[in-house]
Amino acid sequence: MTNRIIRKAIATDLADIMKVMDAAKMIMRQSGNWHQWVDGYPSEEVIAVDMERDGAFVVVDDGKVVGYFAYLPSPEPTYHRIFGGQWLEDTLPYHVVHRIASYADVHGVFSDIMRFCFLHDTNIRIDTHQDNKIMQHNILKHGFSYCGIIYLLSGDERLAYQKIIK
Instruction: Report strand pairing: 95-102 vs 123-128.
Output: parallel
With beta carbons less than 8 A apart as the criterion, state whether 147 and 117 touch: no
Give the three-state DSSP class for 23. Answer: helix
**pLDDT mean by block of 10 residues, the chain; 166 residues:** 88 98 95 90 96 98 97 96 97 97 96 97 97 96 98 94 96
The C-alpha atoms of residue 121 and residue 73 are separated, in whole angstroms, by 9
Burial status of residue 137 (CB atoms within 10 A of its CB: 0-12, 13-18, 19 or more): exposed
**Runs of H (alpha helix) within 70-151:** 109-120, 133-141
- Superfamily in which the 4-164 domain is placed by CATH: Gcn5-related N-acetyltransferase (GNAT) (3.40.630.30)
Q: What are phi and psi of 41, to 5 degrees?
A: -90, 140
Number of H helices, E strands in the chain: 4, 7
Task: Determine the pLDDT at residue 2.
Answer: 66
Q: How far apart are CA 57 and CA 67, in angstroms?
A: 8
pLDDT value of position 39: 87
Whole-structure pTM value: 0.95
pLDDT of residue 94: 98
For the chain, what are the domain ranges?
4-164
